[in-house]
Amino acid sequence: MTRIGIALVGHIPMSEMVHVAKEADERGYHSIWLTEGSARDAFSQIAAMSMVTKNINFGPGVVVTYGRSPTMLAMITATLDEISGNRFIQGIGAGGPSSENNHGEKYERPLSRMRDYITIIKTALRGETINYAGKIISIHGFKLGFAPSRSDTPVYIAALGPQMSKLGGEIADGLIYSFPTPDYIKSTMPMIKAGAKKAGRSIKDIDVAAYVVCDANPDKDKAIESIREHVFGYTAFPAYINMMRLMGYNSEMDAVLIMREEGNLQKGISAISDKMVNDIGMFGDTDSWPEKIEKFRDAGVTLPILRPANSITTSAQLLRKIVRAYRP
């Protein structure tokens, strides 16, 4: 069976979200991924959905290294893995400067912080007592108070740039990329391989997941605009600006930054070119989506994840249409 995941997003009632999760499970999807931000917390949603599904895996895509300590994330990881019957994948991101406003913690040294988090979580899941002095975080004497249902629950990290890709290759079970192009994935593979080599691992040991942004609105123009707005939303974060420049969209990012500085958000959205939308997203006739997905697989993605474009405007109806657009 071909592996493919789906991100369940949208401001829709949890009762409807659970029904969509059941349908994704019945259709054979590999995994469901829940984003967080300032909306519903991902872990509560996963607990609810895991109780009404049988085979599908679950992961937060992603939670950040702020607001929850690494030992708390280890406890959550082991608990949800047990609740779901070993169907949980932990997904962690470095966050950004906005984490200071959202969580009241100083944003600094994301690579070192990520290394500390992953090391502590994996040590805890092995049932070991943690005595660890990291560059950012130190934990002494902590041990999980129950035996995890498995000691190797997968832990993935979100990566945007080359150094986090290399770190993921070294210490994580998988990497998660947000709306990359196939060419960008190809360009990151040497860094993942370098990290894996440093740890004595093979690239085959590492899952490479990628969000493929999509919109199944039958009105093609509205779908394209939705993807344009989605991409523009991420230009509020410097790390995503840098990633888009690495993908070759320098002129678009120059225009976006000017429009943001002027406060002209509509023109900023329009600066997201048709080429960007076509390179990054999927829209229109869903029959063409599998061909686009295969381009990502050919580039090195082992787990494509369908990611609805606009969380605010995504309805339960559109979410179901995306679920039904692809049968693994």
Q: Over the stretch 141-181, which tens digit does the pLDDT of each residue have?
A: 999 999 999 999 999 999 999 999 999 999 999 999 999 99
Tokens of 78: 């082991």
Q: Over the stretch 258-289, which tens digit does the pLDDT of each residue have?
A: 999 999 999 999 999 999 999 999 998 888 89
Bridge pairing between strands 130-133 and 282-283: unpaired
CATH of domain 5-219+281-324: 3.20.20.30
Q: Is the dihedral of CA 71, 73, 77, 79 positive or negative?
A: positive
Pick from 8, 89, 6: nearest CA to 304: 6
Domain-by-domain residue ranges, the chain?
A: 5-219+281-324
Bridge pairing between strands 207-215 and 174-177: parallel
Pick from 99, 58, 240: nearest CA to 164: 240
pTM: 0.95
Q: Of residues 78 and 98, which shows the higher confidence score?
A: 78
Tokens of 30: 């590999």
Pick from 212, 219, 207: nearest CA to 300: 207
Q: What percent of the chain has pLDDT over 90?
A: 83
What pLDDT sits at residue 23? 96
Q: How confident is the model at residue 248 (pLDDT cuts 50, 70, 90)?
A: very high
Q: Over the chain, what HEC string results?
A: CCCCEEECCCCCCHHHHHHHHHHHHHCCCCEEEECCCCCCCHHHHHHHHHCCCCCCEEEECCEECCCCCHHHHHHHHHHHHHHHCCCECEEEECCCCHHHHHHCCCCCCHHHHHHHHHHHHHHHHCCCCEEEECCCCEEEEECCCCCCCCCCCCEEEECCCHHHHHHHHHHCCEEEECCCCHHHHHHHHHHHHHHHHHCCCCHHHCEEEEEEEEECCCCHHHHHHHHHHHHHHHCCCHHHHHHHHHCCCHHHHHHHHHHHHHCCHHHHHHCCCHHHHHHHCEECCHHHHHHHHHHHHHHCCCEEEEEECCCCCCCHHHHHHHHHCCCC
